[in-house]
Amino acid sequence: MKWTQVQDSMWLPDIAAMVRERLENPGPLKVKHDPAAIGKLILRQLKDRRTGSGGLRLSAAGKCLRALAYGYHHWEENGHGIDAASMLTFTVGDISEHMLVAATREAFALEEGIELLHAGEEQEDVYVEVPLSPFKTLRVPGHPDGCLKVPMRIDEAGADIDALFELKSMSDYGFKKFRTNGLDSDDSYYSQIQAYMLAKEQMTGRPFKWAYVMAFGKTVSAMDAVMSEETEQWWRLFPIVGQWIPVDKEHQEYLMDRFKAITMSSSVEDFKRPYKPVSKGKYEGKLKFPCDYCSYYRHCYPGAIEVAEQAKWLQSTTKVRVYASKEEK
């Protein structure tokens, strides 16, 4: 089994390396898989994926309070929508993640003492219970990608632990950023993962002190290269990397406080817009990320318009940008 050091004297399995080795060495399948699952993923894209007025969800735990409030107070989505291009992108991501689940199970089948549970078509529903009063509790639901039973090495001793498993298909920019810097507490994925770990601990009564995030660069070219820190030589960039993330109790408390604040609010207007449009220069008035990708930006900025402009990094590419009205800048 391949290992990676996560803390002083503590080692956990290097799952991305195990998956890479299995992908690069095809052979007989050792695990029973459901061939129809791929078809279900593709057909799912033809259904209405809009969440509408869906309330709070653990996957959105890292969004701004105003965006969470729109969902909690049952506002209809009115912003960045799902078009045909988005559907194709989601399909590629779904299929890639399903393949990686299968490859992970096959890689684990070659080892002892490591197991992937509740993944793929076997995903389970979880929830965080937020106490609102001695007599009232709010359940915030979610769907983690899976759970792990993995061995842990501390010095020469070993033990089995429960851990969360998350797969993320990322754009070229997001993947290279993750590969270089990993996730930090400002990343929305980080909040989502901490919320899932809290949900699993609440529901099972067992500690979930670690989560493994495996990222797939869905737009990484076969010819993309990176320099090895060890040999200082260039080699082709493998589009799968992983990171072990420890539980962050302080951040989990922060998320609980945010959920409580949402439930205590009387309206969306209890929360100010946390991000401001670009204040000067060529793109004055432009909504920055995450606002331009928010499902509610037209509620925050009723006068917002979409403008097609040439991307500065590639003149042949046209990029749709969102601008606030003059009164809203």
Say whether pLDDT at 53 is over 50: no
Average pLDDT over residues 44-62: 72
Residue in 47, 2, 78 with CA at minimum distance from that of residue 268? 78
pLDDT grade for 223, boundaries at 50, 70 and 90: very low
Q: Work out the mean pLDDT of the chain and round it to a whole number.
A: 85
Say whether pLDDT at 74 is over 60: yes
pLDDT grade for 226, boundaries at 50, 70 and 90: low
**Which of these ranges, 67-81, 201-215, 263-277, has the smallest mean pLDDT?**
67-81
Residues 275, 276, 281, 287, CA torsion sign: positive
- Cα–Cα distances (Å) from 280 to 228, 283, 287, 301, 326, in that order, read 40, 7, 12, 18, 12
When mean pLDDT is compared over 100-109, 117-126, 292-301, the highest value belongs to: 100-109
Kindly report the pTM of this predicted structure: 0.88
Angle of the 84-109 helix axis to the 15-23 helix axis, nearest 10: 90
Neighbours of 205 (CB within 10 A): 7
> What single-letter DSSP state applies at residue 302?
T
Residue 154 β-bridge partners: 10, 157
- Predicted local confidence at residue 312, as pLDDT: 60
Say whether pLDDT at 288 is over 70: yes
> What single-letter DSSP state applies at residue 280?
S
In the chain, the N- to C-terminal Cα span, in Å, equals 55
CA distance 228 to 202: 41
Average pLDDT over residues 76-91: 76
Could you tell me whether strands 210-217 and 157-170 are parallel, antiparallel, or unpaired per DSSP bridges? Answer: parallel
pLDDT grade for 49, boundaries at 50, 70 and 90: low
Share of the chain above pLDDT 70, in %: 86
- Contact status, residue 18 vs residue 1, Cβ threshold 8 Å: yes
Question: Widest CA span of the chain, in angstroms?
Answer: 65
Tell me which of 89 and 17 has the higher pLDDT: 17
3-class secondary structure, 46: coil
CA distance 193 to 145: 10
Average pLDDT over residues 219-245: 66
Q: Identify residue 166 by its one-letter amino acid code.
A: E
Share of the chain above pLDDT 90, in %: 48
> What single-letter DSSP state applies at residue 136?
E
Strands (E) in the chain, as ranges, are 3-7, 10-13, 115-117, 126-133, 136-142, 146-154, 157-170, 210-217, 225-227, 234-236, 240-246, 305-311, 314-323
Average pLDDT over residues 61-68: 94
- Predicted local confidence at residue 103, as pLDDT: 94
User: The domain 3-269 is classified under which CATH number: 2.40.128, 3.30.420, 3.90.320, 3.30.470?
Assistant: 3.90.320
Please provide the size of the chain in residues: 329
Say whether pLDDT at 311 is over 70: no
- Predicted local confidence at residue 279, as pLDDT: 85
Residues 284, 287, 290, 293, CA torsion sign: negative
Question: Residue written as tokens 């604040």?
Answer: 261
**Which of these ranges, 172-181, 221-230, 238-247, has the smallest mean pLDDT?**
221-230
DSSP string, 3-14: EEEEETTEEEE-
Average pLDDT over residues 130-156: 89
Residue ranges covered by each domain of the chain: 3-269, 275-328
- Contact status, residue 188 vs residue 213, Cβ threshold 8 Å: no
Could you tell me whether strands 126-133 and 115-117 are parallel, antiparallel, or unpaired per DSSP bridges? Answer: unpaired
Say whether pLDDT at 37 is over 70: yes
- Predicted local confidence at residue 239, as pLDDT: 84
Within 13 Å of residue 91, how many CA atoms lie on the same side as its CB?
A: 16
**Which of these ranges, 203-217, 233-247, 283-297, has the smallest mean pLDDT?**
233-247
pLDDT grade for 179, boundaries at 50, 70 and 90: confident
Say whether pLDDT at 322 is over 70: yes
Can you read off the two tokens belonging to residue 299?
A: 């509620």
